[in-house]
Amino acid sequence: MNHSVLFQPLDLGALTLKNRIVMAPMTRNMSPGNIPGPQSLEYYRRRAEGGVGLIITEGTCINHIAANGYPDVPYFHGEERLAAWKKIADAVHREGGKIAPQLWHCGGMRRAGTPPEGEVNGYTPSGMNVPGKVNRHEMTKQDIKDVIAAFAQGAADAKALGFDAVELHGAHGYLIDQFFWEGTNQRNDEYGGSLENRSRFAIEIIQAVRAAVGPDFPIILRWSQWKQQDYTARLVESPETLEQFLIPLSEAGVDIFHCSTRRFWEPEFEGSTLNLAGWTRKITGKPAITVGSVGLSDEFLPLPGQAHFRESEPASLDDLLARLENAEFDLVAVGRALIANPDWATKIEAGSAEQLAPYTKEMLAELV
């Protein structure tokens, strides 16, 4: 098929993108001292040079004592760390790209003992990282206020540093998603119970971020049905419930929804071919990003007994292009294919897909 639809510009008000290609956020664990260094700068710069329209960074932790859950991930607070992020944003801009940090709180995915915060336990709505097992810190009302303020400060810093947008990580069983998910949210106050109440934490974060960045700075929300704790988990089972979930988030201030699925081509509900991004766009009228094994022959989730992204060969884009041509969604996030091919976008635009390298697990060993 003709790839030109991927390379049409998109005007999103304050954010104008040269094409529809987004670099998906991917944790790389290569920021010693939680500072993104020169290798990280070059990693992102090369993808901008290679034609990506919008780069969404790996998850970067907000300024909260329990935000981190993994070694050597970057933070988005502190003078030295923010100065490093500014250098990355400037480098991406010099190559003609746009960039948004993904602000992240790991919630219950944190285990006590994770450095550098040490014995601080994971923070969760109900002390659970998986349904039914209480082994984390149950958040107080003050904890909730502190985390909301930290997200808002991170967004304000992103704007001040010259980033083009900000993404809030509300997917994959991390903190915001743990509030969404009834399995891990068993609170009996206004933050638990009904879907409306379980969304309150996210809505208050979005509202605080909007107040911090003003009316024109784009806010992206990444969300998912599936969780790391349960790949089959679902927040909603019907378009009607999806509408009840999405509209309040949209009205709170989300400009773009980043709809994370394992396989973008799968329909979300029976009776329709629309995927999750398609339904999200239809319901909210807001731009939607699709993601999930784009351009590859196999999904990204690890094989049993393995911890790394699944290896995969380049695959046809025909179904993706047809859906984009039909305006099912607006943007396409590419993950592993961009690890394997920093110039993925340039090669696709040139009609040189046969030159694309497959993704292999060895590629995770270094930032290239």
Point out the residues that are catalytic. 174
Residue pair 347/306 in contact by the 8 Å Cβ criterion: no
